[in-house]
Amino acid sequence: MLWTPLLIVWHGVCWPFIQIWRRICSVGTLIKLCALAIYHSPVSAYQAAQRRRNWLMAKVEYLQSESGKWRAIFNVAKSPYSFLRMMGLSPQMATGLLVAGSTVGGGAIVNETLLSERSFSRGDAGVYSAPLDIPTSYTEGDNTLKIDLGTTPVGVIEISDVHVGTAYASSALPSGETNVIIVGGVASVSTYLEVGHLIVDRWRCTTLTISDTEAYELNIKYNASDGQSIAPVAGTPRARGIGGGNRADAYSTSGGYYDQIKITAPTSGTNGKVGTLRLSNLYSKGGGCILTRIKAGIIDILYNESGAGDGFATKDFTVATSTIYKTVNITDNVEVSISPP
């Protein structure tokens, strides 16, 4: 009781200070909480992003796993067809053998011929126009490989290691055709094939003829023929390189069988243009090989064999006087008895 008045006075004096101290503590606590929230927010954001990333990667890994399984199934199903194509059979012949012999179910044909479009790179016959790798037209039963060149220049065209014409069983030239390989412009529409560098090497032909052609540099070397006439004429062709900016992708194929190969410029008044045209190891039979209406920077005619077994008096390798050059190198071309392919 004695201390009661003193306690009342003490509380009366101290109460405001106590309340002020509590407010100060509340503000400090609020500042501390804000600081902790700011400190932890990047970590929380990162952890949330990490959870989303892990969820997405799990789905991607699942899809990749499923894709690999389906790819393996198709590879197993298509293996007989791919083996026949690797052996050099045309797509038509390979498919025909598979269907006739029942050596494969529908998987190979569906995967390779229906789900996949025909393409030059796979060696499918048809008519191709730059810059497309798929044929613009195709006739069932016509096994001709044709490239129509026009306004779009092509950087590189390469065809190698193929049989052409009647050089394989059950083949025939297209109706009305007498030549198995035709490269160049078209006289009826006044076009030329412009080429930076033309390489013709290791052809086997019944006859090989070069005419109405000009080259800044003409190299005719190491060719053998059953009779030959090499008579190009000096002139003033210009050095030529093919540009054209955004050119078509390279056309390249190797291996296969074709009734005919044609690389021409069929559009009236529009020359075809190719940077490098390499035609290597073409084995042909049933008609002639023709190079005509070509304007080139460099032409290399190398290691070819031509002959019909009709004696040296008949010229089975001919470079006509309509072939014009600025510089020429004619080396070691020999006449030997060569029977038809």
Range 196-202 average pLDDT: 97
Residue 294 is predicted with a pLDDT of 98
The confidence band for 250, taking pLDDT boundaries of 50, 70 and 90, is confident
Residues 84 and 30: their CA atoms lie apart, in Å, by 80
In 149-192, which ranges are E strands? 154-165, 179-185
Task: Report pLDDT digits (tens) over 251-278.
Answer: 999 998 999 999 999 999 999 999 999 9
First to last CA, the chain: 137
Task: Looking at the chain, list the stretches that DSSP marks H as alpha helix, in order from N- to C-terminal side.
Answer: 4-86, 91-101, 106-109
Cβ-based neighbour number of residue 238 at 10 Å: 9
At residue 168, the pLDDT reads: 77
What's the predicted TM-score (pTM) here? Answer: 0.67
The predicted structure's pLDDT at residue 118: 80
Q: In this predicted model, what pLDDT tens digit does every residue of 70-128 receive, in sequence order?
A: 666 655 554 555 555 555 555 555 555 555 544 333 333 334 443 457 888 888 889 99
So what's the pLDDT on residue 141? 73
Please determine, for residue 41, whether its predicted confidence score (pLDDT) is greater than 70: no
Percent of the chain past pLDDT 70, that is, above it, reads 72
Residue type, 81: Y
Edge-to-edge strand ranges of the sheet holding 126-129:
126-129, 144-148, 260-265, 179-185, 288-292, 208-211, 317-319, 228-230
Closest CA to 259 of 134, 174, 158: 174
